[in-house]
Structure 1
């Protein structure tokens, strides 16, 4: 049975274009996979704690299996989020680009799930050089993103200013998820017709992809 985890990262509700497009994709995907399991995780309109000193101390406690109860409590949500991610082979992230990057709620989620010993590990080679091991190899991800302006995609005039989906590619790739598709809609804050064409094109791509994802 296929299992998909959908992460919604926009702080907006029904006005969110990334959410709307994600739901188009998910509706078609569920129709094509009626026996599949879909789990939604809200990080845009829910409070995902940012990394704190207590989190760091608990995360890097030298004997993970002997953490004090207080430290276990500090990592409880992170453990839940990691387990959730591990338990699904398909990942969908819907996210707007805010000020050239991702919203803080999604960044907090990333910081909660990139965990040494759980989603990645570190070993030393014979020369004492750190070698990173990716522990979530084999998963597939889709990033559905909306950008207020235009030209932020590959080859675009402002490609170098896009630190949203490239950031996600880097973070997910670090833990082993490198089979990633990005579908973007651009131009919400420019010409209405430009945005409409971009939105229609993205929706068509998502409907097609959903049938085989």
Structure 2
């Protein structure tokens, strides 16, 4: 039994999402110190951008006629799929970039899908914690309400396509204290950070209890 942790931030350990993922995983590990945690950091160790196209095109070529790039892409896609399906639970930290999903995470999703039937229920019934971090605020009544094109997309993939039992932990205003234009939201930003950290710990406890 193992926990798969996936990070997608380009900021490495300094990212808000990685901080929340640390809380989830540390809480889980405290209850299961002997269990394996498999990690893949898509932001600091990105997948080749061309790999998805090569994996898809390989499907139209006889195996003995595939290029080296196609063979490598097919092997990579199979590796990613195996990591996902072999895990008993998953923690996914997804930053919000340019109003949508990180290119690094999208490449990972595309490769996993390319490795088999697109309709395969790869996470059927498995508990998944999705950690969403956004620099600003995009909720109801805000100037950019409806501009978040990431969170619902990931729900579609994780739940509707792959069948996960999903918990979403969200933190907004992560750029408070970084972007001076958001200084007026200092107190709210601190409150949202604390709430997200509490929710991350609770999600870790729930994962541990269900393991």
The TM-score by the shorter chain falls in which range?
Answer: 0.7 to 0.9
Q: Is residue 148–residue 187 contact of structure 1 (8 Å, CA) maintained in 2?
A: yes
Q: Is residue 140–residue 177 contact of structure 1 (8 Å, CA) maintained in 2?
A: no
Given the two structures, how large is their TM-score scaled by the length of structure 2?
0.82
Task: State the partner residue of 1:208.
Answer: 202
Is 1:143–2:142 an aligned residue pair? no
**2-structure distance, mates of 1:188, 1:169:** 21
Aligned ranges 1:79-94 → 2 under 5 Å = 79-94=78-93
Task: State the partner residue of 2:158.
Answer: 172
**2-structure distance, mates of 1:133, 1:94:** 23
Bigger helix fraction:
2
Q: Which runs of 5+ in 1 are unaligned?
A: 122-131
**Does the residue aligned with 1:95 lie in a helix, a strand or coil?**
strand
2:186 maps to which of 165, 171, 192: 192
Aligned ranges 1:1-213 → 2 under 5 Å = 1=1, 3-51=2-50, 53-58=53-58, 60-61=59-60, 68=66, 70=68, 71-115=70-114, 118=116, 120-121=117-118, 132=119, 134-152=121-139, 155=140, 157=142, 158-189=144-175, 190=182, 191-213=185-207
**Does the residue aligned with 2:195 lie in a helix, a strand or coil?**
helix
Given the two structures, how large is their TM-score scaled by the length of structure 1?
0.81
Alignment RMSD: 2.3
Quote the offset at 1:13 in angstroms: 2.3
